[in-house]
Amino acid sequence: MPPKKRSRLTAADRREQLISVAQQLFAENGVQPTTVEDIATAAGVTKPLIYEHFGGKEGLYAVVVDRAMRQLLDRVVGSLTGGGGSRELLERSASALLGYIEEQPAAFRVLLRDSPASHGAGSAASIMSTVAGHVETLVVEVFERNDLDVSVVPIYAQMLVGMIGFTGEWWIESGSSLSRDTVAAHMVNLAWNGLGGIERDPTLKTL
Protein backbone atom coordinates (compact mmCIF):
# COMPACT_ATOMS: atom_id res chain seq x y z
CA MET A 1 0.00 0.00 0.00
CA PRO A 2 1.59 3.33 -1.04
CA PRO A 3 2.32 5.81 1.76
CA LYS A 4 -0.21 8.58 2.32
CA LYS A 5 0.68 11.92 0.85
CA ARG A 6 1.19 14.60 3.45
CA SER A 7 -1.59 17.17 3.11
CA ARG A 8 -0.49 20.66 2.18
CA LEU A 9 -1.33 23.51 4.53
CA THR A 10 -3.83 26.06 3.31
CA ALA A 11 -2.56 29.60 2.86
CA ALA A 12 -4.29 30.65 6.09
CA ASP A 13 -2.86 27.72 8.06
CA ARG A 14 0.62 28.37 6.65
CA ARG A 15 0.37 32.01 7.69
CA GLU A 16 -0.58 30.98 11.22
CA GLN A 17 2.32 28.54 11.33
CA LEU A 18 4.80 31.22 10.28
CA ILE A 19 3.46 33.65 12.88
CA SER A 20 3.79 31.00 15.60
CA VAL A 21 7.31 29.98 14.58
CA ALA A 22 8.49 33.58 14.26
CA GLN A 23 7.03 34.51 17.65
CA GLN A 24 8.94 31.69 19.32
CA LEU A 25 12.21 32.63 17.62
CA PHE A 26 11.80 36.33 18.39
CA ALA A 27 11.10 35.45 22.02
CA GLU A 28 14.08 33.13 22.36
CA ASN A 29 16.71 34.93 20.29
CA GLY A 30 15.55 38.52 19.91
CA VAL A 31 14.27 40.30 16.85
CA GLN A 32 17.51 41.62 15.39
CA PRO A 33 19.48 38.32 15.49
CA THR A 34 16.62 36.31 13.99
CA THR A 35 16.78 36.14 10.20
CA VAL A 36 14.25 35.24 7.55
CA GLU A 37 16.36 32.16 6.89
CA ASP A 38 16.09 31.13 10.56
CA ILE A 39 12.30 31.40 10.40
CA ALA A 40 12.08 29.56 7.09
CA THR A 41 14.28 26.73 8.34
CA ALA A 42 12.32 26.33 11.57
CA ALA A 43 9.02 26.35 9.67
CA GLY A 44 10.27 24.01 6.94
CA VAL A 45 9.54 26.46 4.12
CA THR A 46 11.52 28.52 1.66
CA LYS A 47 12.39 32.16 2.25
CA PRO A 48 10.32 33.41 -0.72
CA LEU A 49 7.19 32.09 0.99
CA ILE A 50 7.77 34.38 3.96
CA TYR A 51 8.25 37.36 1.65
CA GLU A 52 5.07 36.35 -0.17
CA HIS A 53 3.00 36.36 3.03
CA PHE A 54 4.57 39.21 4.99
CA GLY A 55 6.97 41.13 2.74
CA GLY A 56 9.92 40.16 4.96
CA LYS A 57 10.95 39.94 8.60
CA GLU A 58 9.71 43.43 9.50
CA GLY A 59 6.23 42.67 8.22
CA LEU A 60 6.13 39.36 10.06
CA TYR A 61 7.37 40.99 13.25
CA ALA A 62 4.67 43.66 12.99
CA VAL A 63 1.98 40.98 12.76
CA VAL A 64 3.41 39.08 15.75
CA VAL A 65 3.53 42.23 17.90
CA ASP A 66 0.13 43.54 16.84
CA ARG A 67 -1.51 40.21 17.62
CA ALA A 68 0.24 39.83 20.99
CA MET A 69 -0.67 43.36 21.97
CA ARG A 70 -4.31 42.93 20.94
CA GLN A 71 -4.57 39.75 23.02
CA LEU A 72 -3.03 41.49 26.01
CA LEU A 73 -5.31 44.51 25.74
CA ASP A 74 -8.35 42.28 25.35
CA ARG A 75 -7.43 40.59 28.63
CA VAL A 76 -6.89 43.83 30.51
CA VAL A 77 -9.89 45.70 29.10
CA GLY A 78 -12.08 42.65 29.65
CA SER A 79 -11.02 42.51 33.31
CA LEU A 80 -12.15 46.12 33.83
CA THR A 81 -15.68 45.55 32.56
CA GLY A 82 -18.61 44.26 34.53
CA GLY A 83 -18.42 46.71 37.42
CA GLY A 84 -17.08 46.16 40.89
CA GLY A 85 -15.21 48.25 43.42
CA SER A 86 -11.74 49.68 42.91
CA ARG A 87 -9.98 46.86 44.72
CA GLU A 88 -11.90 44.24 42.78
CA LEU A 89 -10.95 45.94 39.51
CA LEU A 90 -7.31 46.07 40.59
CA GLU A 91 -7.34 42.38 41.48
CA ARG A 92 -8.96 41.44 38.18
CA SER A 93 -6.54 43.52 36.11
CA ALA A 94 -3.49 42.10 37.93
CA SER A 95 -4.79 38.56 37.53
CA ALA A 96 -5.60 39.16 33.84
CA LEU A 97 -2.13 40.46 33.05
CA LEU A 98 -0.45 37.63 34.95
CA GLY A 99 -2.75 35.15 33.24
CA TYR A 100 -1.63 36.43 29.87
CA ILE A 101 2.03 36.14 30.91
CA GLU A 102 1.49 32.60 32.17
CA GLU A 103 -0.44 31.37 29.13
CA GLN A 104 1.42 33.32 26.43
CA PRO A 105 5.04 33.55 27.67
CA ALA A 106 6.55 33.77 24.17
CA ALA A 107 4.20 36.58 23.14
CA PHE A 108 4.94 38.46 26.36
CA ARG A 109 8.70 38.10 25.85
CA VAL A 110 8.35 39.53 22.35
CA LEU A 111 6.45 42.53 23.73
CA LEU A 112 9.15 43.21 26.31
CA ARG A 113 12.08 42.93 23.92
CA ASP A 114 13.45 46.01 22.19
CA SER A 115 11.83 46.41 18.80
CA PRO A 116 13.62 47.40 15.60
CA ALA A 117 13.97 51.17 15.20
CA SER A 118 11.63 51.03 12.21
CA HIS A 119 8.83 49.63 14.37
CA GLY A 120 8.80 52.10 17.23
CA ALA A 121 5.07 51.69 17.79
CA GLY A 122 5.75 48.17 19.00
CA SER A 123 8.32 49.07 21.63
CA ALA A 124 7.83 47.66 25.11
CA ALA A 125 7.45 51.17 26.53
CA SER A 126 4.68 52.16 24.11
CA ILE A 127 2.86 48.87 24.59
CA MET A 128 2.84 49.11 28.37
CA SER A 129 1.80 52.77 28.09
CA THR A 130 -1.23 51.69 26.07
CA VAL A 131 -2.16 49.17 28.75
CA ALA A 132 -1.67 51.86 31.41
CA GLY A 133 -4.11 54.08 29.53
CA HIS A 134 -6.83 51.53 30.15
CA VAL A 135 -5.86 51.07 33.79
CA GLU A 136 -6.32 54.81 34.38
CA THR A 137 -10.04 54.10 34.69
CA LEU A 138 -9.32 52.16 37.86
CA VAL A 139 -7.05 54.82 39.36
CA VAL A 140 -9.36 57.73 38.53
CA GLU A 141 -12.10 56.16 40.62
CA VAL A 142 -9.81 55.97 43.67
CA PHE A 143 -8.63 59.55 43.21
CA GLU A 144 -12.11 60.99 42.74
CA ARG A 145 -13.43 59.17 45.78
CA ASN A 146 -10.61 60.64 47.88
CA ASP A 147 -10.88 64.12 46.32
CA LEU A 148 -7.37 63.95 44.87
CA ASP A 149 -5.92 65.68 41.83
CA VAL A 150 -6.82 63.46 38.84
CA SER A 151 -4.30 65.23 36.59
CA VAL A 152 -1.55 63.00 38.04
CA VAL A 153 -3.49 59.76 37.50
CA PRO A 154 -1.36 58.75 34.45
CA ILE A 155 1.72 58.61 36.70
CA TYR A 156 0.05 56.11 39.01
CA ALA A 157 -1.36 54.06 36.14
CA GLN A 158 2.13 53.78 34.63
CA MET A 159 3.56 52.70 37.99
CA LEU A 160 0.87 50.06 38.53
CA VAL A 161 1.31 48.54 35.08
CA GLY A 162 5.09 48.71 35.36
CA MET A 163 4.99 46.92 38.72
CA ILE A 164 2.75 44.16 37.38
CA GLY A 165 4.68 43.84 34.12
CA PHE A 166 8.15 43.63 35.59
CA THR A 167 7.04 41.41 38.46
CA GLY A 168 5.32 39.18 35.93
CA GLU A 169 8.48 39.03 33.87
CA TRP A 170 10.47 37.97 36.94
CA TRP A 171 7.81 35.42 37.85
CA ILE A 172 7.81 33.68 34.47
CA GLU A 173 11.55 33.92 33.80
CA SER A 174 12.68 32.77 37.25
CA GLY A 175 10.55 29.64 37.20
CA SER A 176 9.05 30.62 40.54
CA SER A 177 6.80 28.03 42.13
CA LEU A 178 4.44 30.74 43.38
CA SER A 179 0.98 30.54 41.87
CA ARG A 180 -0.55 33.28 39.77
CA ASP A 181 -3.06 34.11 42.51
CA THR A 182 -0.32 34.35 45.13
CA VAL A 183 1.75 36.74 43.02
CA ALA A 184 -1.33 38.80 42.17
CA ALA A 185 -2.38 38.97 45.84
CA HIS A 186 0.99 40.33 46.92
CA MET A 187 1.07 42.90 44.13
CA VAL A 188 -2.45 44.05 45.00
CA ASN A 189 -1.43 44.19 48.66
CA LEU A 190 1.34 46.69 47.87
CA ALA A 191 -0.62 48.67 45.28
CA TRP A 192 -3.86 48.87 47.24
CA ASN A 193 -2.40 49.68 50.61
CA GLY A 194 -0.19 52.23 48.95
CA LEU A 195 -3.19 53.84 47.24
CA GLY A 196 -5.18 53.62 50.46
CA GLY A 197 -2.64 55.75 52.31
CA ILE A 198 -1.87 58.16 49.49
CA GLU A 199 -0.96 61.74 50.46
CA ARG A 200 -2.72 64.69 48.88
CA ASP A 201 0.50 66.65 48.25
CA PRO A 202 3.44 64.25 48.46
CA THR A 203 6.93 65.65 48.95
CA LEU A 204 10.36 64.04 49.25
CA LYS A 205 11.20 64.04 52.95
CA THR A 206 14.97 63.80 52.57
CA LEU A 207 15.49 66.70 50.13
> With bands split at pLDDT 50, 70 and 90, how would you rate the model's confidence at 116?
low
pLDDT(199) > 70: yes
Q: Is residue 146 exposed (0-12), middle (13-18) or buried (19+ Cβ within 10 Å)?
A: exposed
Task: Read off φ and ψ for residue 178, nearest 5 degrees.
Answer: -65, 140
In the prediction, which pLDDT does 4 show?
Answer: 45
Query: 11-116+124-196 has which fold?
Result: Tetracycline Repressor; domain 2 (1.10.357)
Rounded to an integer, what distance in angstroms lies between the CA atom of residue 200 and that of residue 122? 35
Q: Which tens digits make up the pLDDT trace of 29-64?
A: 988 999 999 999 999 999 999 999 999 999 999 999
Is residue 136 within 8 Å of 151, Cβ to Cβ? no
pLDDT(198) > 50: yes
Helix 11-29, helix 36-43: angle, nearest 10: 120
Domain boundaries, the chain: 11-116+124-196
